[in-house]
Chain A
């Protein structure tokens, strides 16, 4: 039974790993990596590492992969196909193959007597959360604390790296006041999120449209003296350019 399970999980892990490398769409690569991690968790269970398997599924396949999916959705699909120069395209896989053979020789030819066996005799509670927790808090307390500090540093670093940067475009003071004051309605937070350059572009587009409509409103004015209707038209048609500019930017980002 455990042999069947091992071969299913091992073949699944290898196929999924190959799919991560070979698939062209980055989103599918992420999904293949999730499948790979789940197969590896099965292998960990077969090796009686219950807590590591649970952490693998919950933290890796759960949390970290969600982060990946979000970033893939943010960046969008890049039309990346193959490696650059011709020599490297051949040398890369060759080097990887050589490394694999070397690793196989080093691991399987190491002459360790335990490699052909099924491992040490099973002790009760081997690899359970209770044992791992005790080891972490008694024998390996210092690595545990260092790991928590490392996580904190990484979180701060990610926030610093991915924060939005204002002022990528040099604006004259009156233009900047214009950009911050005459922001289109309901676009505030999004516009701030992507920086001032896009706000400036959107405002330019919206402004051009408003001017044209006011001119036509001046022409229309003698026909019907009703004033609220033209302003309603300007208010109503001033928003579509923003939407158009927004979708245009979104397309540009992709």
Chain B
């Protein structure tokens, strides 16, 4: 398959992830949709890496995975803290930063 197909799939996945981030209210699902967007970026990076025959794109994709893991860790830690304080798990209600 030509590289363009992979890039098209990556763009559509990114769009789906954006729609999820914009429409869902549960922060957990928003984190999942962020994962979708990061993975779409990874797919594009790996596709470009194949296109140029250069492995730097795969290195970049691995670093993106590391950053995504960090983001998930901190985000889920925040979620656990929120649920422990019995606050609503809803981004529309979690508007104020002063606790």
Binding site for B on A (CB under 8 A): 2-3, 6, 10, 13-14, 17-18, 20-21, 26, 29-30, 33, 36-37, 40, 43-44, 46-49, 51-52, 55-56, 59-60, 63-64, 67-68, 71-72, 74-75, 78, 80, 82-84, 88-89, 91-93, 95-97, 99-100, 103-104, 107-108, 112, 114-123, 126-127, 131-132, 135-136, 139-140, 143, 147, 150-151, 153-155, 157-162, 164-165, 168, 194-195, 253
Taken together as a complex, chains A and B put the C-alpha atoms of A84 and B47 apart, in Å, by: 37
- The answer to whether A18 and B25 touch across the interface, beta carbons within 8 angstroms, is no
Taken together as a complex, chains A and B put the C-alpha atoms of A136 and B62 apart, in Å, by: 10
A-B residue pairs in contact (CB < 8 Å), sample of 21: A21-B23, A21-B33, A26-B26, A26-B28, A43-B6, A46-B1, A49-B46, A49-B58, A80-B89, A83-B23, A88-B22, A96-B16, A99-B18, A115-B3, A115-B4, A115-B7, A135-B55, A153-B70, A154-B69, A155-B73, A194-B84
- Of the candidates A46, A67, A127, A165, which one forms a contact with B72 in the assembled complex, judged by CB atoms under 8 Å apart? A67
| B contact residues around A83 at 8 Å (CB) | 22-25
Q: Do A100 and B3 form a contact, CB below 8 Å, given A36-B39, A132-B59, A136-B59?
A: no
| B contact residues around A40 at 8 Å (CB) | 39, 42-43
